[in-house]
Chain A
Amino acid sequence: MPENILLDPTAETAAVMQPRLARSQSIAGKTIGLLDIAKMRGDEFLNRLDELLTARGYTVKRYRKRHFTHLAPIELKQQIKSECDLVVEGLAD
Chain B
Amino acid sequence: MQESIPETNDKPAFASATFVAFVKQDCPTCVLAMPVLRRIEDLAGRYGGTLEVHVQDDVSFAVGFSHASDDTALATSYHYNIDTVPTLIRLAGGQEEARVVGWRRSEWQAITGIPGLGDGLPEYRPGCGSKTMDPGMPARLKVKYGNTGLASRRIAVPPLSDPVETCYERGWTDGLPVVPPAEERVLEMLDGTARAPQEIIGRIPPNFAECTVEKVAINAVMAGCRPEYMPVVLTAIEAALTPAFGLHGVLATTNACTPVIMVNGPIARTLGMNAKGNVFGQGNRANAAIGRTLQLVVRNVGGGRPGEIDRSVFGSPAKYSFCFAEDEDDPRWDSFAVSLGYSPKASTVTIFPGDGITQIIDHISRQPDDLCRSFAGCIRAIYRTGHIIGVQAFLAIAREHAIVFYEAGWSKARVRDELLSLLRIPVREVVSGRAGLMGLTAEEKSDPDNLVPKFKNGTFNIIRAGGYAGKYSAIIPSIGGRGSIEPVTREIR
Interface residues of A (CB under 8 A from B): 1-13, 16, 18
- How does the 8 Å CB contact mask read for B166-181 relative to A, with 1 for contact and 0 for none? 1100101000000011
B419 part of interface (Cβ distance < 8 Å): no
How far is it, in angstroms, between the C-alpha of A12 and the C-alpha of B222 when the chains are bound? 17
B152 part of interface (Cβ distance < 8 Å): yes
Q: Find chain A residues with CB under 8 A from B166 CB.
A: 6
Q: Taking chain B's interface residues, is the majority helix, strand, or loop, or is none over half, making it mixed?
A: mixed
How far is it, in angstroms, between the C-alpha of A6 and the C-alpha of B185 when the chains are bound? 10
Interface residues of B (CB under 8 A from A): 136, 140, 143, 150, 152-157, 163, 166-167, 170, 172, 180-186, 204, 207, 209-211, 214-215, 218-219, 222, 296, 300-303
How far is it, in angstroms, between the C-alpha of A10 and the C-alpha of B171 when the chains are bound? 10
Q: Find chain B residues with CB under 8 A from A6 CB.
A: 154-155, 157, 163, 166-167, 180-182
How far is it, in angstroms, between the C-alpha of A11 and the C-alpha of B299 when the chains are bound? 10
How far is it, in angstroms, between the C-alpha of A59 and the C-alpha of B186 when the chains are bound? 52
Cβ contact of A3, chosen from B170, B172, B180, cutoff 8 A: B180
How far is it, in angstroms, between the C-alpha of A4 and the C-alpha of B143 when the chains are bound? 13
- Please determine whether B207 and A9 come into contact, CB atoms closer than 8 angstroms: no
A-B contacts besides A6-B181, A10-B303, A13-B209, 4 pairs, CB < 8 Å = A7-B181, A7-B214, A9-B172, A11-B210
What's the least CB distance linking A38 to chain B, in Å? 21
Total A-B Cβ pairs within 8 A? 79
How far is it, in angstroms, between the C-alpha of A18 and the C-alpha of B171 when the chains are bound? 11
- Please determine whether A3 and B182 come into contact, CB atoms closer than 8 angstroms: yes
Q: Find chain B residues with CB under 8 A from A13 CB.
A: 207, 209, 303
How far is it, in angstroms, between the C-alpha of A10 and the C-alpha of B157 when the chains are bound? 16
Instruction: Using A7-B150, A8-B155, A9-B215 as known contacts, say yes or no to A18 and B170 having CB atoms under 8 A apart.
Output: yes
Q: Find chain A residues with CB under 8 A from B207 CB.
A: 11, 13
- Please determine whether B303 and A11 come into contact, CB atoms closer than 8 angstroms: yes
How far is it, in angstroms, between the C-alpha of A3 and the C-alpha of B303 when the chains are bound? 24
- Return the chain B residue nearest A5 by Cβ: B154
| 11 A-B pairs in the complex with CB atoms less than 8 angstroms apart | A1-B184, A3-B157, A5-B155, A5-B182, A6-B155, A6-B167, A7-B152, A9-B222, A9-B300, A10-B301, A11-B211
What's the least CB distance linking A12 to chain B, in Å? 5
How far is it, in angstroms, between the C-alpha of A45 and the C-alpha of B215 when the chains are bound? 50
- Return the chain A residue nearest B170 by Cβ: A18
- Return the chain A residue nearest B173 by Cβ: A9
- Return the chain A residue nearest B208 by Cβ: A11
Q: Find chain B residues with CB under 8 A from A1 CB.
A: 136, 140, 182, 184-185
How far is it, in angstroms, between the C-alpha of A7 and the C-alpha of B156 when the chains are bound? 9
How far is it, in angstroms, between the C-alpha of A19 and the C-alpha of B222 when the chains are bound? 24
How far is it, in angstroms, between the C-alpha of A4 and the C-alpha of B156 when the chains are bound? 6
How far is it, in angstroms, between the C-alpha of A9 and the C-alpha of B210 when the chains are bound? 12
How far is it, in angstroms, between the C-alpha of A10 and the C-alpha of B301 when the chains are bound? 4
Instruction: Using A13-B303, A16-B155 as known contacts, say yes or no to A7 and B183 having CB atoms under 8 A apart.
Output: yes
Cβ contact of B300, chosen from A2, A10, A18, cutoff 8 A: A10
How far is it, in angstroms, between the C-alpha of A9 and the C-alpha of B140 when the chains are bound? 20
- Please determine whether B302 and A8 come into contact, CB atoms closer than 8 angstroms: no
What's the least CB distance linking A53 to chain B, in Å? 32
How far is it, in angstroms, between the C-alpha of A10 and the C-alpha of B154 when the chains are bound? 11
How far is it, in angstroms, between the C-alpha of A10 and the C-alpha of B214 when the chains are bound? 11
Cβ contact of A11, chosen from B156, B167, B170, B209, cutoff 8 A: B209
Q: Which residue, B153, B156, B302, has most C-beta atoms of chain A within 10 A?
A: B153
- Please determine whether A12 and B153 come into contact, CB atoms closer than 8 angstroms: yes
How far is it, in angstroms, between the C-alpha of A7 and the C-alpha of B167 when the chains are bound? 11
Q: Which residue, A4, A10, A12, has most C-beta atoms of chain B within 10 A?
A: A10
Q: Find chain A residues with CB under 8 A from B300 CB.
A: 9-11
